[in-house]
Amino acid sequence: MERIVICRCEDITEDEVLAAIHNGATTMEELKRVLRVGMGPCQGRTCGPLIRSMLARELGEPVHAIREWSRRPPLKPVPAGTFFRGEES
Amino acid sequence: MSVLTCDVAVIGAGIIGTATARYLSARGSDVVVIDRSYMGSGSTGRCIGGLRHQFSTAPSIRLMKESIRIFSQMEDEFGHSVEFHQGGYLLLAHDNDMADTFRANIRIQRAEGVNVSLLDPVEIHSLVPELNIHGVVAGAWCPDDGQAFPFAVLKGFRSLIEKAGGRFLLRNPVKEIRRPSHFELILADGTRVEAPQVLLAAGPWTRELALPIGLDLPLAPERHEAMITERMPRFLEPMLVDYRPDGCYFQQMLTGQVIGCYTPVPTVPGIREDISFEFLPQLAWRMTRLVPPLRNAAILRHWAGCYTMTPDGNPILDRTPVDGLFVASGMCGHGFMFGPAMGRHMADFILDGEWGMDFSEFALDRDFSPGAETLK
């Protein structure tokens, strides 16, 4: 069977996302927490829109009705050292 | 309006409510688990997943021995991994007072059969070569401590509960608790759940749920923050806990991410999931001071969740003055690790009316003056 990867960072497939939705997930937030989609280095830039449209399709709602997941700082990967450079080391 | 009847209604689908429901249903009880959002959406899903035996009183240590045993069997029981891994906890003392606290605790822990020892800086260095031992006086080391992934644990419990006939009502907050003779819980969508017994296991929301029925539980939610890095090759086995006032704690997950927190001083009271500007610079500095190679670790994300505190730092696990109403909350940041064993004992207590072990330090009518638990 064809293996369609939805979240490349965490290697989560379309089947896994669909299974979670069919298991009762109704929000992007829940899918993210349960599957870790969108939790890798790209922070959901790639899979976010895909998952949003999958969720809309499965729930029979328009895409704009699906709330996006929360964006968490620092938004892109930042080395720990960068945060305190100039303060103390 | 739909009406559901059951033996026990559990409010809160976090680890405590779900674990209790799992053991209730295993004993043939008909349970309904209710949550305002999805499973683990409160404190459980925001925690960093650490499990430790290293507490300072016998009841907590016994609970944790049982809990970690349950965690270790979950993969067989559930048929899926819960990312359980025993990489150990290494607690670090940078002064003699803290080292003395460790010594006293280790005596108690060993008496309970926990494999724990006090390490000197040389031994600490050989255990974690990346650790900067400058200023370290001693370490308390338990190789049997570890970690697990909260959502995998909840998923496993849920399928066992549903297999036993239990039901979940998620994304449906309890709006009102009535008590004509039995309990009637009115949910946001109008559903009415009727049960002779109710367990309040709603973490930070427990106090506000209990207030309208005349119970003022000594529970105080406060905000804690956490961060996670990108996945890296595994290099750090134990959870490191730096007990300095400006310390922190972090571990590398089985999946490679380093996940960590520090205890905010002063505390940030309230049910809050917003985040602060100072957290990431502070934690980055604190963890890099302890493990310098982490300077290059890319931080991905930063979030917050609640600890539900009690005045003495111990949970509340008891019946309440309202007949048939039970409470399991005030986990003080230890709910995920205590959850499986606590759920089992709570289920027995609800069904049998008595505890299988001495739970007086978790009683609702205890003296709450700050006390025995020395390890936050």
pLDDT at A2 over 90: no
Inter-chain touch A34–B275, beta carbons under 8 Å: no
pLDDT at A86 over 60: no
**Residue B80 lies inside a defined structural domain of this protein:** no
Structural domains in chain B (count): 2
Rounded to 10°, the helix B150-163/B15-26 angle is: 30
Q: Could you tell me if B266 and B125 lie in one domain?
A: yes
Question: Would you list which residues of chain A are within 8 Å, Cβ to Cβ, of chain B?
Answer: 24-27, 29-30, 33-34, 39-41, 43, 72-74, 77-84, 87-89
- Among chain A residues, the shortest Cα distance to B151 is held by A34
**Residue B106 lies inside a defined structural domain of this protein:** yes
Q: Could you tell me if B20 and B137 lie in one domain?
A: no
Architecture of domain A5-78: Orthogonal Bundle (1.10)
Segments forming the whole domain that contains residue B236: 86-143+220-309
CATH, residue B335 = 3.50.50.60
How many Å lie between the alpha carbon of B227 and the closest alpha carbon of chain A?
9
CATH, residue B251 = 3.30.9.10
Q: Could you tell me if B231 and B106 lie in one domain?
A: yes
The Cα A50–Cα A44 span in angstroms is 10
Q: Could you tell me if B39 and B186 lie in one domain?
A: yes
The Cα B340–Cα B202 span in angstroms is 16
> Are the C-beta atoms of residues B83 and B254 closer than 8 Å to each other?
yes
Assign A20 a pLDDT band (cuts: 50, 70, 90).
very high
Which runs of E-coded beta strand occur in chain B? 3-5, 8-11, 31-34, 50-51, 89-93, 117-119, 138-142, 146-147, 167-169, 174-178, 183-187, 192-195, 197-200, 220-231, 239-242, 249-252, 257-261, 298-309, 316-319, 325-329
**Residue B255 lies inside a defined structural domain of this protein:** yes
Q: Could you tell me if B300 and B284 lie in one domain?
A: yes
Q: Among B309, B341, B371, which residue terminates a domain?
A: B309
Q: Could you tell me if B279 and B345 lie in one domain?
A: no
Question: The complex's ipTM?
Answer: 0.88
On chain B, the residues whose CB falls within 8 A of the CB of A73 are: 275, 280, 301-302
Please report, for chain A, the start and end positions of each structural domain, with discontinuous segments joined by +.
Answer: 5-78
Inter-chain touch A84–B285, beta carbons under 8 Å: yes
Closest CA to B375 of B14, B103, B43: B103
Q: Could you tell me if B339 and B279 lie in one domain?
A: no
Residue of B285, B294, B302, B336 for testing the chain A interface, max A β-carbons within 10 Å: B285
> What pLDDT score does B373 carry?
64
Closest CA to B350 of B90, B63, B9, B70: B9
Q: Among B294, B309, B324, which residue terminates a domain?
A: B309
The Cα B371–Cα B376 span in angstroms is 12
The Cα B156–Cα B362 span in angstroms is 27
Q: Among B277, B292, B309, which residue terminates a domain?
A: B309
- Among chain A residues, the shortest Cα distance to B230 is held by A41
Q: Could you tell me if B118 and B133 lie in one domain?
A: yes
pLDDT by position in tens, chain B (length 376): 799 999 999 999 999 999 999 999 999 999 999 999 999 999 999 999 999 999 999 999 999 999 999 999 999 999 999 999 999 999 999 999 999 999 999 999 999 999 999 999 999 999 999 999 999 999 999 999 999 999 999 999 999 999 999 999 999 999 999 998 999 999 999 999 999 999 999 999 999 999 999 999 999 999 999 999 999 999 999 999 999 999 999 999 999 999 999 999 999 999 999 999 999 999 999 999 999 999 999 999 999 999 999 999 999 999 999 999 999 999 999 999 999 999 999 999 999 999 988 999 999 999 998 766 666 6
Q: Could you tell me if B248 and B296 lie in one domain?
A: yes
Q: Could you tell me if B305 and B161 lie in one domain?
A: no
Inter-chain touch B297–A80, beta carbons under 8 Å: yes
pLDDT at A51 over 70: yes
